[in-house]
Amino acid sequence: MELSNEIRNELIKAQRTEITEYHVYKNIAKTLPDEENRKIVSQIGDDEKRHYEIWKAYTGEAVKPNRFQIWLYTAISRVFGFTFGFKLMELGEEKAQVNYQKIEEEIPEASEVIKDEDKHENILLDMLDEEKLLYAGSVVLGLNDALVELTGALAGLTLAFRNVDTIALSGLVTGIAASLSMAASEYLSTSSEDTEKHPVKAAVYTGIAYVVTVALLILPYLLFKNEFLCLGITLVTSVIIIAVFNFYISVAKDEPFGKNFFKMAGLSLSVAAFSFLIGFVIKQWLGVDV
């Protein structure tokens, strides 16, 4: 059929998106150890290729994929987990400037075909089973506990001690001890629950999340000499950690970003502010000057 230049250009953009995602799915499918996940991802890739062929039937033109996006989304999927990588890629596709409403005006039947394919694709994505998401709750536990406890502790220590070396040392001792305690608690908790999670793995995920958070929050006190500058950087770092993690969860598990972000950030900063006040009161009451 004869297409207008505008619709033809829109279809070519859609072709490039579909063939690019086809290559990403196929690349990742080859690396997956679980046979069921490998079949599902490979099937989604076949769906993307079928989308490409639908549009190609109308344009009559073969379109090359975006090599940079293939590399980018393949790398993201391998580092942060394939579920996150795939859903981030699909999110990018939704925001792509392909005007499907315009396409439907000239090709009415194409709209129904692509809706059916997308519905099938979403069902397949929900069937994926990934260890990283299974233990996301353990990561949340370690992350949230470290943010709340250590931002509060560092805020109180900053005003009480006014010495970056002492604050860093105290924070490290507190953080390492707390990380071991949280890992042990997660192990005991998971052991007593009827869950697919392995207790040792759950403990490791919790402990690692806690230790990494501790390291990032204490780092300013090891780099700078002004304790209030260090505290400010630590608080900003905690908000960035919360934002990054909640973005990851919102994409990978289709959870609301804003609600979870503001809840975690509000709790962490509120504890820090209260602890800062406690540090001031104790310093004045005991008259300690370190």
pLDDT tens-digit profile of 184-218?
888 887 887 766 778 888 888 888 888 888 899 99
- Please say which residue of 104, 129, 154 terminates a domain: 129
- The domain of 56 spans 5-129
Does 67 have pLDDT greater than 90?
Answer: yes
Domain count within the chain: 2
| Residue 259 and residue 147 in one domain | yes
Q: Which of 27-41, 57-71, 125-139, 267-281 has the highest mean pLDDT?
A: 57-71
- Please say which residue of 78, 102, 129 terminates a domain: 129
| Residue 121 and residue 140 in one domain | no
97 pLDDT band (50/70/90 cuts)? low
DSSP secondary structure letters along 28-78: HHTT-S-HHHHHHHHHHHHHHHHHHHHHHHHH-------HHHHHHHHHHHH
| Residue 122 and residue 237 in one domain | no
223 pLDDT band (50/70/90 cuts)? very high
| Residue 137 and residue 125 in one domain | no
162 pLDDT band (50/70/90 cuts)? confident
- 149/147 Cα distance (integer angstroms): 6
Does 125 have pLDDT greater than 70?
Answer: no
- Mean pLDDT (whole number) for 109-133: 68
3-state secondary structure 76-124: HHHHHCHHHHHHHHHHHHHHCCCCHHHHHHHCHHHHHHHHHHHHHHHHH
For the chain, what is the mean pLDDT?
Answer: 81
Does 68 have pLDDT greater than 90?
Answer: yes
Share of the chain above pLDDT 70, in %: 82
- 101/256 Cα distance (integer angstroms): 27
95 pLDDT band (50/70/90 cuts)? low
| Residue 186 and residue 120 in one domain | no
- Please say which residue of 129, 148, 176 terminates a domain: 129
Dig out the tokens for 199 from the structure: 């207790």
Kind and range of the H or E element at 187? Answer: helix 164-191
Does 271 have pLDDT greater than 50?
Answer: yes
Task: State the pLDDT at residue 290.
Answer: 47
Task: State the pLDDT at residue 34.
Answer: 81
- Mean pLDDT (whole number) for 69-89: 87
* Residue 116 CA from chain centroid, whole number: 28
- 8/11 Cα distance (integer angstroms): 5
- SS3 assignment, position 268: helix
